[in-house]
Chains A and B, each alone.
Chain A
């Protein structure tokens, strides 16, 4: 598993993919946080990082599928999956290697944004007037969200040998599970079920974490979604044996 992970991270770093992903993410978030007046912290005049945590998921929604779309689709198309699957590796070694490499790249993109925390910390009046616990909770939330999106991406990459299809499926899954359930719940037909429906979506749990409240229920939710997606991926990969 480690070998697959290493190879994938290396191939991200050796190709332009990693740098483009990180640069686009940081430029996008940087612009939103500091330049664009509608969302800029400077205009907002409250020392918090809401912009990063509210808009970050939308940037991830496109960037993460772009990272993961090739992972299994390319192996299937090029036939190299046959090479991997006839080496002493289990299907899980391959899936987890691919998954964790994608997640590593997401973390690489996220780490530099901690500078924003430092900047806002210094800009606050008085200095340090920022909800640190909230920020930490939000970071954990955003990382978990990235982890969930990565699992969607890996699954979408497993079901097709076409990278474009994988990308579009992954974007849709991310979008639907992030805000889709929430929006559906707001339709006035569910009665008492609407709250349960809302809780199926990511947004509900993500918002809870943004408040700096690390509730095990939310963490379990994220981990279960990841688990379900990776199990489905394993099922798809194993379907060659049917």
Chain B
């Protein structure tokens, strides 16, 4: 196990920021950490990096306890904090050398690692610039390069893509994908597509509590309570015929011959829809089953909690 979180509780004043969370991350796994703002994602990460101590419970990284052995933990993790703090007045290569030296890398090896990071993160053209002169996307790359310079076994990224434009977002995502091949990666986000694009496993927390810990596919399938099929004809049709299809729960008339059909999860109603169209001479112009998105799953999981509290 690369990371083992055991009944972790963190209290700020009266409030439980993290409330009895237990999970672990296996080697080589990419773990998405999902939750609305203020759910306790960052706090959990700060504890895992030994920046904050837990109120109770324990976190182990690569077998080292974050409270008793913080230095060993820090040697094994690469961490990109939220908002990506950087020394703006430093040059990119200077900064990377500094961080490398903090990790005890020296001389030729240091030069090699810095060179490697600059290439890997696509910073060749920016390496002689001051960090303050870089755009947000490039700063994020510097942040990633910094977290990777000592080749850590565990990478902890706190909202690595927040505030980036769509192109930068894609680039950073690819970069994470690239480095995640031989590392355990935990990253937090509230962007669902990212989870779909990157993760093997998803952990959803809400108000400090763990609400889901599942492989991505399982989460998508199991947490969905109906399929949504969009159908469009050239003109309005007999709604009762659509309702009669086996597995259809509800038909919503969208006007102009457009309908939304809610169907049972394990049934594909599309062949039946097509059959009805051909039997009745309806001209079918659209038939689409919506993919179960993480967004829906996320809404469901976190809304449920809302009602509960």
Q: Which residues of A contact B (CB under 8 A)?
A: 3-4, 7, 11, 14-15, 78-80, 82-90, 240-241
Binary contact readout B26-57 vs A (1 if CB under 8 angstroms, 0 otherwise)? 00000000000000000000100111110000
- 19 residue pairs of the A-B complex, CB under 8 angstroms, read A4-B102, A14-B89, A78-B87, A78-B88, A79-B83, A80-B86, A80-B87, A82-B51, A83-B79, A83-B86, A84-B102, A86-B51, A86-B79, A87-B74, A88-B104, A89-B74, A90-B71, A240-B51, A241-B53
When distances are taken between beta carbons in the complex, the residues of chain A under 8 Å from B51 are: 82, 85-86, 240
When distances are taken between beta carbons in the complex, the residues of chain A under 8 Å from B102 are: 3-4, 84, 87-89
CB distance from B58 to the nearest CB of A (A): 15
Asked if B114 is at the interface (CB within 8 A of a chain A CB), the reply is: no
Binary contact readout B66-104 vs A (1 if CB under 8 angstroms, 0 otherwise)? 000001001101010101011111100000001101111
Judging by beta carbons under 8 Å apart, are A83 and B81 in contact? Answer: yes
Judging by beta carbons under 8 Å apart, are B86 and A11 in contact? Answer: no
Main secondary structure, interface of A, reads helix
Q: Which residue of B lies closest to A89 (CB)?
A: B102
Q: For the complex, what is the distance from the CA of A219 to the CA of B71, rounded to whole Å?
A: 34
When distances are taken between beta carbons in the complex, the residues of chain B under 8 Å from A7 are: 98
Further contacts, 11 of them, CB under 8 A, given A3-B98, A89-B74: A3-B101, A14-B89, A82-B46, A84-B102, A85-B51, A86-B51, A87-B103, A88-B74, A88-B103, A89-B102, A240-B51
Known A-B contacts A85-B51, A86-B49, A86-B79; the reply to A78 vs B74 at CB < 8 A is no
Checking A11, A86, A240, A241 against B81 with a beta-carbon cut-off of 8 angstroms, the contacting residue is A86
Judging by beta carbons under 8 Å apart, are A86 and B77 in contact? Answer: yes
Main secondary structure, interface of B, reads loop
When distances are taken between beta carbons in the complex, the residues of chain A under 8 Å from B89 are: 11, 14-15
Known A-B contacts A88-B74, A240-B52; the reply to A79 vs B103 at CB < 8 A is no
Judging by beta carbons under 8 Å apart, are A241 and B49 in contact? Answer: no
Judging by beta carbons under 8 Å apart, are A88 and B75 in contact? Answer: yes
When distances are taken between beta carbons in the complex, the residues of chain B under 8 Å from A14 are: 89
CB distance from B209 to the nearest CB of A (A): 24
Q: For the complex, what is the distance from the CA of A88 to the CA of B79, rounded to whole Å?
A: 12
Judging by beta carbons under 8 Å apart, are A86 and B90 in contact? Answer: no
Known A-B contacts A78-B85, A88-B74; the reply to A241 vs B103 at CB < 8 A is no
**Size bracket, chain B contacts:** 20 to 34
When distances are taken between beta carbons in the complex, the residues of chain A under 8 Å from B79 are: 83, 86
CB distance from A86 to the nearest CB of B (A): 4
When distances are taken between beta carbons in the complex, the residues of chain A under 8 Å from B87 are: 11, 78, 80
Q: For the complex, what is the distance from the CA of A78 to the CA of B146, rounded to whole Å?
A: 16
Q: For the complex, what is the distance from the CA of A145 to the CA of B74, rounded to whole Å?
A: 37
When distances are taken between beta carbons in the complex, the residues of chain B under 8 Å from A79 are: 81, 83, 85
When distances are taken between beta carbons in the complex, the residues of chain A under 8 Å from B88 are: 78
When distances are taken between beta carbons in the complex, the residues of chain B under 8 Å from A90 are: 71
Judging by beta carbons under 8 Å apart, are A82 and B81 in contact? Answer: yes
When distances are taken between beta carbons in the complex, the residues of chain A under 8 Å from B50 are: 86
CB distance from A148 to the nearest CB of B (A): 28
Q: For the complex, what is the distance from the CA of A79 to the CA of B51, rounded to whole Å?
A: 12
Judging by beta carbons under 8 Å apart, are A86 and B98 in contact? Answer: no
Q: For the complex, what is the distance from the CA of A104 to the CA of B104, rounded to whole Å?
A: 23
Interface members, chain B 95-132 (any A CB < 8 Å): 98-99, 101-104
CB distance from A112 to the nearest CB of B (A): 26
CB distance from A74 to the nearest CB of B (A): 9
Q: For the complex, what is the distance from the CA of A3 to the CA of B100, rounded to whole Å?
A: 10
Q: For the complex, what is the distance from the CA of A216 to the CA of B266, rounded to whole Å?
A: 86
CB distance from B107 to the nearest CB of A (A): 14
Q: Which residue of B lies closest to A77 (CB)?
A: B85
Known A-B contacts A241-B52, A241-B53; the reply to A87 vs B85 at CB < 8 A is no
Q: For the complex, what is the distance from the CA of A181 to the CA of B98, rounded to whole Å?
A: 43
When distances are taken between beta carbons in the complex, the residues of chain A under 8 Å from B75 are: 88
Interface members, chain B 217-269 (any A CB < 8 Å): none
Q: Which residue of B lies closest to A14 (CB)?
A: B89
When distances are taken between beta carbons in the complex, the residues of chain B under 8 Å from A4 are: 102
When distances are taken between beta carbons in the complex, the residues of chain A under 8 Å from B83 are: 79
CB distance from A8 to the nearest CB of B (A): 11
Q: For the complex, what is the distance from the CA of A83 to the CA of B46, rounded to whole Å?
A: 11
Q: Which residue of B lies closest to A83 (CB)?
A: B85
When distances are taken between beta carbons in the complex, the residues of chain A under 8 Å from B99 are: 87
Known A-B contacts A78-B85, A87-B99, A240-B52; the reply to A11 vs B71 at CB < 8 A is no
When distances are taken between beta carbons in the complex, the residues of chain B under 8 Å from A85 are: 51
Interface members, chain B 174-217 (any A CB < 8 Å): none
Q: Which residue of B lies closest to A3 (CB)?
A: B101
Judging by beta carbons under 8 Å apart, are B74 and A86 in contact? Answer: yes
Judging by beta carbons under 8 Å apart, are B90 and A11 in contact? Answer: yes
When distances are taken between beta carbons in the complex, the residues of chain A under 8 Å from B77 are: 86
